[in-house]
Structure 1
């Protein structure tokens, strides 16, 4: 199988590295020639453009920064799609758009799978990230061997569109976690607490979270580098807000998160690292939220392990229809 990968950024580059590391014949494309050159030096081939990549590959994976970017790439690949092709979308997008693009792929005879990831760039680097897969069950079984080289925990979420909805939900929760961690750390500093001790108290308590155990560390280091930016947070929380509004759910916290990040973008710029949202509180209080001993960036210290399908609690594994 020749696998194509489009989008070699913070997450995509690490996922593509897992494809290459696991022995697949990999062809890549990115607007950044240097990123492509790095993969060519490691044994991949490079395509001239998205259409060329689709023409050469059996399965094409996209991991792009916005729904608009995904749409442009898929529409460029469409003339080369037929019944032998599979498209895997690993970007964070909205359900309506993924359904539209999947319909275009299906009309050409191809197969589409949405499979956004969750767990941070450091886990993408070691294939220990989680993957949500939206597609019919037969297609899921077909692509599972590839997905388990890209991630450790793979959840079949249902038909096309379901994975995008769940991914947006998890990013909303992560954003809420980030902002509460920021408020907790600044308040502890203002109250005279040692921040190393405050970090540990949060970590070993009912107040801990994945976000605290990762993003709080790079906040306290001062790098604030989690390879995610404020504009992407605003996009993801906005997508979650759209889902809630369409479903008639009167949210109160989600609009507040949006306003906070809109203010952060106005102050520091759209491409500012998302943990630097804490600067709003640092600026307001005159406090610096730093502590010794924390890393500048997160590195996954768990060994890479074979991936597997996650079966939802209370359910049994579905049988593949014959």
Structure 2
């Protein structure tokens, strides 16, 4: 199966590198040409070249607007779609947009899988991501040998749009936990609590979450785990969740916290920094607090 990849940034580049390390050539395209080389891919001159030369096309792009431009552009994926081709969208995107693209590609005989990813840069580096996939199960089975190269777990969540829906639900919980834990850690620092002790208590108690287990044990010692989702992208994901909740008629009572936290981080100059730096933005508004003892 000839593999193409569009969008070789923080996550796509790492996924492409995993595929290449497994011995499979990748035809890649990114607006930053250096990203293609860094990912070990063969450079394509356009999205159209990737689509025309690949049996499976992987997309890792910032949002639905960019996904639509890549798929629907004059020399985009749809223009070169053909029966039997599989397009896998690994972006975090709006489910409504996803189902629309699925229908357009299906009319050309191609399959479109929405495959939200979780695990961050570290998991992408190791090929150990979690994928939540929507779309045709037969197409997923055909794509699985390639997806297994980047993922440790693959869940078929339902029809088109289900993968991106589950991704938004997951990311909302991730954002809420990260923002709330950041606030708690700043409060702990200002209260004079040893943060390693605080984390040990939280991780043995009911406040435990992904951020207390995996993020803050590094952050309190100055490692912000750079390379993952930025504050701007986290805010984008939370806003997509809010739109989804509104469409579903679900009362989104807990969205204000992460919307405020990551919006504030973006406004204070952390827009393109990893979302873990939300703790520094909260610290800025709390008297210039940093978690590291020597700060």
TM more than 0.5: yes
Match of 2:274 in 1: 273
Distance 2:260 2:193 in 1: 29
Of 269, 289, 292, 1:290 maps to 292
The higher-RCO structure (CA 8 Å, 6+ apart) is 1
Deviation at 1:220, TM superposition (A): 1.4
Deviation at 1:28, TM superposition (A): 0.9
Distance 2:9 2:81 in 1: 24
Deviation at 1:132, TM superposition (A): 0.7
Work out the number of aligned pairs and report it.
289
1:296-315 equivalent positions in 2, closer than 5 A: none
The alignment partner of 1:99 has SS state of helix
The alignment partner of 1:266 has SS state of helix
Deviation at 1:288, TM superposition (A): 2.2
4+ runs deviating over 6 angstroms: none
1:35-88 superposed Cα distances (whole Å, 9 cap, x missing partner): 12234xx4x422110101111111110001111111111121222111031111
The alignment partner of 2:126 has SS state of coil
Match of 2:11 in 1: 11
Identify the range of structure 1 (221-230 vs 181-190) with the bigger mean alpha-carbon deviation.
Answer: 221-230
Deviation at 1:236, TM superposition (A): 0.4
Contact 1:230–1:271, Cα closer than 8 Å, also in 2: yes
Contact 2:117–2:129, Cα closer than 8 Å, also in 1: yes
Contact 1:241–1:255, Cα closer than 8 Å, also in 2: no
1:220-231 equivalent positions in 2, closer than 5 A: 220-226=220-226, 227-231=228-232
Please report the TM-score for the alignment, with normalisation by the length of structure 1.
0.85
Identify the range of structure 1 (81-90 vs 210-219) with the bigger mean alpha-carbon deviation.
Answer: 210-219
Structure 1 gaps, min length 5? 293-322
CA-atom RMSD, angstroms? 1.7
Contact 2:88–2:114, Cα closer than 8 Å, also in 1: yes
Match of 1:245 in 2: 246
Match of 2:95 in 1: 95
The alignment partner of 2:77 has SS state of helix
Please report the TM-score for the alignment, with normalisation by the length of structure 2.
0.92
Distance 2:25 2:224 in 1: 36
1:169-180 equivalent positions in 2, closer than 5 A: 169-180=169-180
The alignment partner of 1:152 has SS state of strand
Match of 1:295 in 2: none
Identify the range of structure 1 (136-145 vs 219-228) with the bigger mean alpha-carbon deviation.
Answer: 219-228
Match of 2:37 in 1: 37
The alignment partner of 1:116 has SS state of strand
Distance 2:274 2:287 in 1: 20
